Structure 1
Amino acid sequence: MAELVAFEKEAILSANKKDIENYTGNDLAMADRLKVDDAKVEGMISSLEQLASQTDPLGVERFAFTHENGINVSNKTAPFGTVCIIYESRPDVTIEAAGIAFKSGNKILLKGGKESLQSNLALVSLWHKALEENDCSDEWVTYLQFNREQTQEFLQNPTQKIDLIVPRGGEKLIAFTKKHATCPVIISGRGNNFVYVDAEADLEMAISIIINAKTTKISACNALDKVLIAADMPRKHEFLQHLIQELKKSDVTVYTDTHFSAMEGTTPIESENIWFEEFLDYKIVIGQAASLEDAILSINKYGGGHSAAIITSNTNSAQIFLESVDSAAVYHNASTRFTDGFQFGLGGELAISTDKLHQRGPIGLQHLVTNKWYVLGNGQIR
């Protein structure tokens, strides 16, 4: 498949160009996710090559035990069966999700959004070609060309057995899937990520991390939305002025709580509700935290359970933060933009789960498995 994607790059770009030309929405994040360029195709190829090089995740023994009566008990990894992923806009999901599903022994049903139809159909046709050339059924990868009503009917009354559903997108898509699905659902996609800048932070490092996390890809679920500043930070006013200036260079709208509402170039927040929002836009909220404990409480109250970072030179404070913040990925002195299956060495991801069962954070090849007990005896009875 990696070879086919490389060989058919121009056809993929051409199909994507049609999708971009047909897109009439004004959702900045969706438009950004929709676009496929040379770099994104290279990313698809790298993801497939990394997946191909990884160890088979099936049949891995997790536990073994010999009973006193002689029976041998073991637990090994096993495929789910059929996985359905419902996603918006992102043609690269058609690559990563199908690749991870196939290598972990799972059939996959891909339900992409209408805005990326031409791109997805082009990629699925390559999947079918790759499968057929290797004497595999093309039923391993199926594209569901459904509208909203058909998708709802399929979720409520599936025409085949589905073992797991992953909605990968905005909160409306997640709510729609949870409401209508009749099998387990893994929640993926919501960010609302926080950075806490401690009183003992390297301030230049803090600005670099915040700018990177906020501005490099606003459509990503690992992008930054909220910044908390320690109340006792030295040179706090100077730091904030510099930070706001840097954010303004990328046309980021800066909202502030009452502690910083007098800062030039900022907009006072109107409601507490903004702290719960994931922006997927050039917007950020900056507020004050009375202490490390206060920052942790705020993140656990308002955050999306995705990613959170502390910037500090105090390793003890960092350890308290990392252990206490209830997020899938926690960071010390690094950008939240690294919460990504490929960046974490997984060869891509099916999704980034903010659930705690069965897997949290990026779901890679070794995570798209369940388990099975094997009990071997020679006539034992209880």
Structure 2
Amino acid sequence: MNKLLTIEKRNAVLKRMAVLLEEERAILKTVNQQDLSNYSGDDLAMEKRLLVDDTKIDNMILSLNQLADQDDPVGVERFHFTHENGMKISNKTAAFGTILIIYESRPDVTVEAGGIALKSGNKILLKGGKESVLSNLKIIELWHQALKDNEIAADWVEYLNYNREETQAFLEQPTQKVDLIVPRGGENLIAFVKKHATCPVIISGRGNNFVYVNAEANLDQALQIIINGKTSNISVCNALDKVLIDTNLENWEVFARKVITELQLRNVIVLGDESVSKIGNIPQIESDLIWHEEFLDYKIVIGTTNSDQEAIDKINKYCGGHSASIITKNDSIAQEFMENIDTAAVYQNASTRFTDGGQFGLGGELAISTDKLHQRGPIGLQHLVTNKWYIYGNGQVR
């Protein structure tokens, strides 16, 4: 295990990395264009995640500077107790040790995950997808420069340039100690890691997020929230895939038709359940299995429900455990919905697109966990730690 770096050292590396990203901005974009031209797939969402443009570099730099400004998450006292025999006992946060993150397509994760891990005192192993290898290797080169400039060993941030077979071999028999693995990607990647890993895994699972339009909804808000959730960025896990409309809503058919029209104007493929399909003149879903699907595409399903409880039951049955939103002016209905929906983030009158470490004030995230242990939702600095007990005595025996 690497000796814990002082907080001053950790912050200095983050700030130096931010400067290097600015200095190497043009080169990084050029390298990324090579990755983009090498990408031969037809996955629009993956291609969007692969792109590194000025906005993404600005966000990488912002994330690093925000992380540098945050308090040290290591060594924070969570509990203390003085034993009757005089021993002083305290529980403090501690670094995990070494964290492995396996992810697809997104070079910005190479910056953000590296930064969060380093700030929280952890060594990080980064295993990116083959489609982003040139961009990732360039970013790793900058990490190593930032570490070297601060007289810190380069192995604090390590890139595993492995193919699938090599990755499987490493998961089953790691060549170094790994304390935690976070797979960040599609369901196939997550299943692969869970099958082969020999240490704890936090699942950053599918989105498949729902918006429920209650009978007492502000319909202007509902329309804007649905459009934003579906169309602002299709390639992210906090995007919207399903809409449920309460048939107790006055003139619900008129509202449903308006939603369909507005989405179609934005090139979204809209499917409906039997009721919505009839009134909206759109294709009907072929099977209820589609309610399970995360689309990562310009595609959405709109259905109806007859009660708040039916909406809650349907969301809990089909969602990915990520995010769900209720649109209603009735705060008590909203509260009951939010308390009974089994997702990491629950909203009233807001877009699911906000489920994000930066938006939640965490200064970025390693991933968004749909597990309940040990952290749920965005995994920020505060969550990338374990804990340790410190006991101070002067000769006590039991």
Q: Shorter-chain TM-score category?
A: over 0.9
| Counterpart among 320, 327, 344 of residue 304 in structure 1 | 320
Q: One-letter code of the match for 1:18?
A: Q
Q: 1:102-150, CA deviations, whole angstroms, 9 ceiling, x for partnerless residues?
A: 0111000000000000110010100000010011111100000000000
Instruction: Return the alpha-carbon distance in structure 2 between the equivalents of residues 30 and 200 of structure 1.
Output: 38
| Counterpart among 188, 204, 207 of residue 191 in structure 1 | 207
Q: Which residue of 2 aligns with 1:269?
A: 285
Q: 1:248-297, CA deviations, whole angstroms, 9 ceiling, x for partnerless residues?
A: 01111111111212134421000110000001011111111111111111
Q: One-letter code of the match for 1:94?
A: T
- C-alpha spacing 1:189/1:43, structure 2 compared with 1 (3 Å): farther
Q: Is the 8 A contact 1:306 1:329 kept in 2?
A: yes
| Counterpart among 228, 241, 248 of residue 225 in structure 1 | 241
Structure 2 matches for 1:214-293, cutoff 5 A?
A: 214-293=230-309
| Counterpart among 177, 180, 184 of residue 161 in structure 1 | 177
Instruction: Return the alpha-carbon distance in structure 1 between the equivalents of residues 319 and 41 of structure 2.
Output: 28
Q: Which residue of 2 aligns with 1:172?
A: 188
Structure 2 matches for 1:62-141, cutoff 5 A?
A: 62-141=78-157
- Secondary structure of 2:294's partner? coil
- The runs of 5 or more residues in structure 2 that have no matched partner are 1-16
Q: Which residue of 1 aligns with 2:22?
A: 6
- Secondary structure of 2:117's partner? helix
- Secondary structure of 1:246's partner? helix
Q: Is the 8 A contact 1:196 1:229 kept in 2?
A: yes
Q: List structure 1 runs of 4+ shifted beyond 3 angstroms.
A: none
Instruction: Return the alpha-carbon distance in structure 2 between the equivalents of residues 250 and 377 of structure 1.
Output: 67
Task: Quote how far apart the aligned CAs of 1:231 are.
Answer: 1.6
Instruction: Return the alpha-carbon distance in structure 1 between the equivalents of residues 81 and 281 of structure 2.
Output: 65
1:200 and 2:216 are equivalent in the alignment? yes
Q: 1:290-339, CA deviations, whole angstroms, 9 ceiling, x for partnerless residues?
A: 11111111111100000000000000001001111010000000000000
Instruction: Return the alpha-carbon distance in structure 2 between the equivalents of residues 266 and 48 of structure 1.
Output: 46
| Counterpart among 357, 382, 387 of residue 341 in structure 1 | 357
Instruction: Return the alpha-carbon distance in structure 1 between the equivalents of residues 261 and 366 of structure 2.
Output: 37
Q: One-letter code of the match for 1:222?
A: N
Instruction: Return the alpha-carbon distance in structure 2 between the equivalents of residues 271 and 264 of structure 1.
Output: 18
Q: Which residue of 2 aligns with 1:210?
A: 226
Instruction: Return the alpha-carbon distance in structure 1 between the equivalents of residues 91 and 299 of structure 2.
Output: 48
Q: One-letter code of the match for 1:170?
A: G
Identity %: 66
Q: 1:131-181, CA deviations, whole angstroms, 9 ceiling, x for partnerless residues?
A: 100111111000000000000000001000000000000000000000000
Instruction: Return the alpha-carbon distance in structure 2 between the equivalents of residues 100 and 260 of structure 1.
Output: 44
Instruction: Return the alpha-carbon distance in structure 2 between the equivalents of residues 250 and 50 of structure 1.
Output: 34
Q: Is the 8 A contact 2:256 2:280 kept in 1?
A: no
Q: Is the 8 A contact 2:276 2:303 kept in 1?
A: yes
- Secondary structure of 1:260's partner? helix
Task: Quote how far apart the aligned CAs of 1:30 are.
Answer: 0.5
Q: One-letter code of the match for 1:182?
A: T
How many residue pairs match? The answer is 382
Instruction: Return the alpha-carbon distance in structure 2 between the equivalents of residues 79 and 49 of structure 1.
Output: 21
Instruction: Return the alpha-carbon distance in structure 1 between the equivalents of residues 265 and 357 of structure 2.
Output: 30
